[in-house]
Amino acid sequence: MPTLYTLGHSNHDSDTFLGLLARHGVDVLVDVRTVPYSRRHPQFRKHDLEGACREAGIDYRWRGEQLGGIKRDSVCRTFDEASGRPGFVEALGELATLARAHVPAVMCAEKEPMACHRTALVCRHLAARPDARDLAIRHIRADGSLEDHRAFEHRLVAAMGVDAGDLFAADPVQDAYDALSAKMTGAR
C-alpha cells in the first residue's frame, strides 16, 4: 500500500529529525511551509535543510507556494480559499503519484498534527481524492510513533466537540475539519 507520512520539524535537532525520516524509510521530504525559514531553528531553513537531506540521501522538495498555509498578507483568508489556489490540486496529485514510487513525508513546523495546516488543509483534501483512496496517510509523532490518519480524524472529531452520532450532521469528520480550519484561520 502506498504511504505518505507527515511530520513537523518542531524543535528537533537535525540528527533527530533525519533519524525520524530514516526510521520510517522516507526518501522524499516535501516541505509545505509557506515560508521555509525558521528564526529559532536555523537547521530548518530551506537551504540548510535541503543540504542535510541531500547528505542523508533524501530528496528535498519545497511546495509551500502550492500547499502552504495562509500568510498574513495572503488574499486567502480560509483553508477553503487556499484549496482553490493555482497549483493546489496539481500538487496534491503530485503527492499521490509520488507515494506510488517513493516514500514521501510532508513536513511543516508544528509538532502536533492538529495544530498544523498539513492536516487541516493538505491531508484533508488529499484523502478525499479518488486517486488517493488507497493511500495510507500516517503522521509521525515527535517521539517517532505513528498515528494513522483515520485515527487522527476520530481524535479530531472528539477534540472539536462534534457529535459523531448526530443523525442530522452531514459528515462529522468534515464538520470537525471545518471547525479546526475556522479555529486556525480565525474565520467564522
Where do the structural domains in the chain lie, given as residue ranges? 3-150
Kindly give the pairing relationship between strand 59-62 and strand 28-31.
Answer: parallel
C-alpha cell at 29: 521530504
Q: Is the pTM of this model over 0.85?
A: yes
Distances (CA, A) of 120 to 6, 31, 126, 142, 176: 12, 16, 11, 18, 10
| Of residues 164 and 126, more confidently modeled | 126
CATH of domain 3-150: 3.40.1010.10
State how far the Cα of 171 lies from the Cα of 47, in Å rounded to an integer. 41
Alpha-carbon gap, residue 33 to 1, rounded angstroms: 27
Distance of alpha carbon 50 from alpha carbon 55, whole angstroms: 9
List Cα–Cα distances, 94 to 4, 86, 148, in angstroms: 12, 14, 21
| pLDDT over 70 at 168, yes or no | no
Give the residue-averaged pLDDT of 94-111. 97
pLDDT greater than 80 at residue 100:
yes
Query: 49, exposed or middle or buried, with CB in 10 Å at 0-12, 13-18, 19+?
Result: buried
The chain-wide mean pLDDT, for the chain, equals 93
Residue with cell 521530504: 29
- pLDDT at residue 188 greater than cutoff 50: no
Residue 140 has pLDDT above 90, yes or no: yes
